[in-house]
Amino acid sequence: MPELRRDPIIGRWVIIASERSARPSDYKIPEPPPEDVSKCPFCSGNEAMTPPEILAYYDPGRLPNAKGWWLRVIPNKYPALKVEGEDDRSADGMYDRMNGIGAHEVIVETPNHFETMAEMDNKRVEDIFWAFRDRMLDLRKDKRFQYVLVFKNHGRPAGATLSHPHSQLIALPMVPIRVMQEMKGSKAYYEYKERCVFCDIIHEERAVQKRMVAENESFICVTPYASRFPYETWIIPKTHFCHYESIKKGDITLLAQMMKTVWGKYRALLKDPPLNLTIHTTPMRDPETPYYHWHIEIMPKLTHVAGFEVGSGFYINSTPPELAAELLRKA
Amino acid sequence: MPELRRDPIIGRWVIIASERSARPSDYKIPEPPPEDVSKCPFCSGNEAMTPPEILAYYDPGRLPNAKGWWLRVIPNKYPALKVEGEDDRSADGMYDRMNGIGAHEVIVETPNHFETMAEMDNKRVEDIFWAFRDRMLDLRKDKRFQYVLVFKNHGRPAGATLSHPHSQLIALPMVPIRVMQEMKGSKAYYEYKERCVFCDIIHEERAVQKRMVAENESFICVTPYASRFPYETWIIPKTHFCHYESIKKGDITLLAQMMKTVWGKYRALLKDPPLNLTIHTTPMRDPETPYYHWHIEIMPKLTHVAGFEVGSGFYINSTPPELAAELLRKA
């Protein structure tokens, strides 16, 4: 059983995947597998190579776990957390632990190995965002879970082990520390200013136009003022919404449009860079609040220096966000 | 002038190195330079290739910036922050910024390109730790600085651009957010328990012996209970000390011994892994406290997944710290 352990100093929970127990030789970075799509478990026709699907969007008449889908959600074959088990917290000497319960799912975004969001029809990109919502709403029914972390690792240096386009989600029995810090910080801002910090960011960025990458009726994409990473961008809904899973149909259309635009810009400017994407949303058990605003953070992985920065929490970014925005706007 | 910018949501300061203004092509990862020591600016004989030294330990009779040293501290040729300038904080629209003032120095640990801490005499490793102290005490005289971050990036994947053994320090006009979180967390623990959390960790780890890597009269090395990274270790002084720069002579000897031991274990077990090392210490303007305890965190960089984890603050570690400690103990 994997285990969740709490750092006693700052309260950060970490998943210790004790079943895998990776030994030193397991960290040899393997050669990228050849692009033999006949062996790709996410390709159409290879459905039997994955665990049975949790959700699929498909043409009428198709049988479960067969061809004919355009999006498929499956359990991760090597899950970081396990669905079975009790949410039992306990002491371990002076420390705090709990069973590594949770869900770890893979959203296969397309049956086609070589198609990315830039090439997909808008409708198909919309379905990726529908799938995130559908899975969040379903996982919310499980009272043990407190947060659903949706993320995408694209490219090997960003942690993707398979190149077939996919996203992942992890349902957690607690709220991750970064989310707690954001909730707390944005609450403090609200208490002082009586305004949502994200709504203020939207207002500021639309006024100064220095860090805008793209805008449509419902979303803006900006390079954040204190960007940690070169070419980091955030996609933020222009109206105040706390919970991603409450997203409306019209907004999904516009979010897909924005995502396609931004993905295309990254490809044009940075030549398909490795990147990480995460949805930041209000914890699902929390009520609507006036201070937290869901958004998507996209972090291209162009540099090698994350280790020191992870250790210190201190980032050095050698591309000013104003320059990044200008180049992405033109791309 | 580089700039320091504050994230308005969680209050994280980031260095924006606006002078370099790296464009997309600057992030192409260059081929490692050939090991032509005649071109290494840190090698003995090449002193003219660096800015004039700030500090050196050397044999009697040597001229400044000439051969005959065994440790040399120089300004970073491409500093993330600049020493000149005022500590002027100001608003930038809704955001907060300040001039990128600070010091960025390189500690060249040895004149010999191919010698690491594992091979060096204990006395010579002691001098590295003396240099950290000497520079901290000197930089403390500059009232603009609030924190000195000492770190070492070893190996290209950990962010080292030159392979000649060296460490770095950055003097900052504010306390990094991670340090503030640690101060706050350890203070909360102290207020609840009336004990230092680090002193408790030492007691616990010595009692259970499951995560001990090494121990001497003054230091322990453990794999932390909630390790973020495979084979992460912390070196902690066994007696309660807040500020690294107050370290005593006898303890420097024992710290050097411990560092050599741990470095040797990493080399034996993980074949000279890329790693990041940071000293975590009480901010230099803060008084002695009963709750914070300086220590060293060592993070081997064996996996590719930092991006997502940086974004979410949520770590997945597939090597249980008990296994890591066992293998490091035996190494």
DSSP per residue, A55-107 = EEEE-TTPPTTSS-EEEEEEE-SS-SSBSSS---EEEETTEEEEE-B-EEEEE
Set of chain A residues whose Cβ sits within 8 Å of the Cβ of B198: 9
CB contact under 8 A, A14 and B228: yes
pLDDT at B217 over 70: yes
Instruction: Give me the half-sphere count of Cα atoms (radius 13 Å) on the Cβ side of residue B121.
Output: 5
pLDDT band at A121 (very low <50, low <70, confident <90, very high): very high
Q: In the CATH hierarchy, which top-level class contains the domain A35-87+99-175?
A: alpha beta
A326 φ, ψ (degrees, to nearest 5): -60, -45
Q: How many CB atoms lie within 10 A of CB B324?
A: 28
- Within an 8 Å CB–CB cutoff, is residue B320 touching chain A? yes
Give me the pLDDT at residue A284, please.
Answer: 96
Share of chain A above pLDDT 70, in %: 94
Point out the residues of B that are catalytic: 166
Q: Which of A16, A275, A312 sits opposite B317 (nearest CB)?
A: A16
pLDDT band at B29 (very low <50, low <70, confident <90, very high): low
Longest Cα–Cα distance of chain B, Å, equals 58
pLDDT band at A216 (very low <50, low <70, confident <90, very high): very high
Nearest C-alpha neighbor of A211 from the set A223, A194, A196, A228:
A223
Q: Rounded to whole angstroms, how far apart are CA atoms B2 and A320?
A: 10
C-alpha A112: how far from chain center: 21
Give me the pLDDT at residue A34, please.
Answer: 63
CB contact under 8 A, B226 and A26: no
Q: Which of A12, A18, A186 sits opposite B320 (nearest CB)?
A: A18
Answer yes or no: A280 catalytic.
no
CB contact under 8 A, B158 and A308: yes
Q: Which two tokens stand for residue B322?
A: 């008990």
Give me the pLDDT at residue B36, please.
Answer: 80
Nearest C-alpha neighbor of A73 from the set A139, A145, A155:
A139
Q: How many CB atoms lie within 10 A of CB A176?
A: 23
Q: Rounded to whole angstroms, how far apart are CA atoms B126 and B116?
A: 13
Give me the pLDDT at residue B7, please.
Answer: 92
Mean pLDDT of A156-179: 91
- Give bridge partners of residue B69 from the DSSP assignment: B58
CB contact under 8 A, A22 and B319: yes
Instruction: Classify residue B17 by burial, with Cβ atoms within 10 Å: 0-12, 13-18, 19+.
Output: buried
Share of chain B above pLDDT 90, in %: 75
Shortest Cα distance, chain B CAs vs residue A210, angstroms: 11
Q: Which two tokens stand for residue B250?
A: 């006898």
Query: Residue B154 carries which side chain, given as an amino acid letter?
Result: H
Q: Is the ipTM, as predicted for this complex, more than 0.85?
A: yes
* Number of helices followed by number of strands (H, E) in chain A: 6, 15
Q: Which residue of A has its CA nearest to B23?
A: A319
Rg (CA), chain A: 20
Give me the pLDDT at residue A309, please.
Answer: 77
pLDDT band at B159 (very low <50, low <70, confident <90, very high): confident
Set of chain A residues whose Cβ sits within 8 Å of the Cβ of B209: none
Give me the pLDDT at residue B37, please.
Answer: 84
Q: Which residue of B has its CA nearest to A308?
A: B276
Give me the pLDDT at residue B225, please.
Answer: 97
CB contact under 8 A, B93 and A204: yes
CB contact under 8 A, A278 and B312: yes
Q: Which two tokens stand for residue A148?
A: 């659903």
Residues in chain A, how many? 331
Residues 6+ apart with CB under 8 A from B281: B242, B243, B244, B245, B294
Q: Which two tokens stand for residue A18?
A: 């004790």
DSSP secondary structure code for residue A27 in this structure: G
Set of chain A residues whose Cβ sits within 8 Å of the Cβ of B190: none
DSSP secondary structure code for residue A10 in this structure: T
- Within an 8 Å CB–CB cutoff, is residue B78 touching chain A? no
Q: How many CB atoms lie within 10 A of CB A59?
A: 9
Shortest Cα distance, chain A CAs vs residue B66, angstroms: 31
Choice among A116-125, A151-160, B94-103 with the minimum mean pLDDT: A151-160
Q: Which two tokens stand for residue A4?
A: 């969740």
Q: List pLDDT tens digits, range B285-327.
A: 999 999 999 999 999 988 766 556 776 778 889 899 999 999 9
Nearest C-alpha neighbor of A311 from the set B312, B103, B202, B228:
B228
- Within an 8 Å CB–CB cutoff, is residue A282 touching chain B? no
Edge to edge, what strands does the sheet with A3-6 contain? A89-92, A95-99, A3-6, A13-16, B315-317
DSSP per residue, A151-177 = EEEESGGGT-S--S-EEEEEEESS--H
CATH number of B178-330: 3.30.428.10
A75 φ, ψ (degrees, to nearest 5): -65, 145
Choice among A157-166, B26-35, B132-141 with the minimum mean pLDDT: B26-35
CB contact under 8 A, B185 and A10: yes
Total CB pairs under 8 A between chain A and B: 273
Mean confidence (pLDDT) of chain B = 92
Nearest C-alpha neighbor of A128 from the set A268, A259, A236:
A259
Residues 6+ apart with CB under 8 A from A49: A41
pLDDT at A312 over 80: no
pLDDT band at A307 (very low <50, low <70, confident <90, very high): low
Give me the pLDDT at residue B17, please.
Answer: 83
- A164, A166, A280, A293: which is the annotated catalytic residue? A166
Q: Rounded to whole angstroms, how far apart are CA atoms B109 and B124?
A: 8
Q: Which residue of A has its CA nearest to B179?
A: A312
Mean pLDDT of A271-292: 95
pLDDT band at B50 (very low <50, low <70, confident <90, very high): very high
Mean pLDDT of B130-136: 98
Fold equal for A35-87+99-175 and A178-330: yes
DSSP secondary structure code for residue B90 in this structure: E
Mean pLDDT of B20-34: 64
Q: Rounded to whole angstroms, how far apart are CA atoms A191 and B211?
A: 43
Q: List pLDDT tens digits, range B224-259.
A: 999 999 999 999 999 999 999 999 999 999 999 999
Q: Which two tokens stand for residue A160?
A: 């993707």
- Domain B3-21+34-176: what homologous superfamily? HIT-like (3.30.428.10)
Give me the pLDDT at residue A97, please.
Answer: 94
Instruction: Classify residue B87 by burial, with Cβ atoms within 10 Å: 0-12, 13-18, 19+.
Output: middle
Mean pLDDT of A148-170: 91
Q: Rounded to whole angstroms, how far apart are CA atoms B114 and B164?
A: 7
pLDDT band at A30 (very low <50, low <70, confident <90, very high): low
Query: Residue B256 carries which side chain, given as an amino acid letter?
Result: A
Q: Identify the top-confidence range among A124-138, A314-328, B25-39.
A: A124-138
Place of tokens 């100001």: B90
pLDDT at B57 over 70: yes
CB A153 within 8 A of CB B305: yes
Q: Which residue of A has its CA nearest to B326?
A: A23
List all residues of chain A from 205 to 224 with a beta carbon under 8 Å from chain B.
Answer: 207-208, 224
Mean pLDDT of A160-176: 92
Q: How many CB atoms lie within 10 A of CB B153?
A: 24
Query: Residue A252 carries which side chain, given as an amino acid letter?
Result: I
Q: Where are the domains of chain A?
A: 35-87+99-175, 178-330
Indicate the pairing of strand B147-154 with strand B103-108.
unpaired
Mean pLDDT of A182-197: 96
pLDDT at B87 over 70: yes
Give me the pLDDT at residue B25, please.
Answer: 72
Choice among A24-38, A206-220, B143-157 with the minimum mean pLDDT: A24-38
CA dihedral (B282, B284, B289, B291) in degrees, to 10, reads -10
Alpha helices, DSSP H, located in chain B: 122-140, 177-193, 197-208, 249-270, 306-312, 321-330
A177 φ, ψ (degrees, to nearest 5): -60, -40
Q: Rounded to whole angstroms, how far apart are CA atoms A133 and A125?
A: 13
Dihedral angle sign, alpha carbons of residues A310, A311, A313, A318: negative
List all residues of chain A from 85 to 124 with a beta carbon under 8 Å from chain B.
Answer: 92-95
Set of chain B residues whose Cβ sits within 8 Å of the Cβ of A94: 200-201, 204
CB contact under 8 A, A225 and B7: yes
Nearest C-alpha neighbor of B331 from the set B255, B270, B272, B273:
B270
Shortest Cα distance, chain B CAs vs residue A241, angstroms: 16
CB contact under 8 A, A14 and B320: no
Q: Rounded to whole angstroms, how far apart are CA atoms B142 and B59?
A: 29
DSSP secondary structure code for residue B82 in this structure: B
- Within an 8 Å CB–CB cutoff, is residue A41 touching chain B? no
Mean pLDDT of B265-289: 94
Q: Which two tokens stand for residue B272?
A: 């000279």
Give me the pLDDT at residue A29, please.
Answer: 55
Packed helices A177-193 and A197-208: angle between N→C axes, nearest 10 degrees: 80
Set of chain B residues whose Cβ sits within 8 Å of the Cβ of A303: 27, 159
Instruction: Choose the mutation target among A3, A4, A12, A14 for the interface with B, i.e. most B CBs under 10 Å.
Output: A14
Instruction: Classify residue B95 by burial, with Cβ atoms within 10 Å: 0-12, 13-18, 19+.
Output: middle
Q: List pLDDT tens digits, range B161-200.
A: 889 999 999 999 999 989 999 999 999 999 999 999 999 9
Indicate the pairing of strand A275-280 with strand A147-154.
antiparallel
Mean pLDDT of B9-33: 74
Q: List pLDDT tens digits, range A253-269.
A: 999 999 999 999 999 99
- Within an 8 Å CB–CB cutoff, is residue B167 touching chain A? no
Give me the pLDDT at residue B30, please.
Answer: 56
CB contact under 8 A, B323 and A23: yes
Give me the pLDDT at residue B106, please.
Answer: 97
Mean pLDDT of A53-69: 95
CB B328 within 8 A of CB B231: yes
Q: Rounded to whole angstroms, how far apart are CA atoms B173 and B313?
A: 25
- Within an 8 Å CB–CB cutoff, is residue A56 touching chain B? no
pLDDT at A242 over 60: yes
Q: Which of A21, A170, A179 sits opposite B323 (nearest CB)?
A: A21
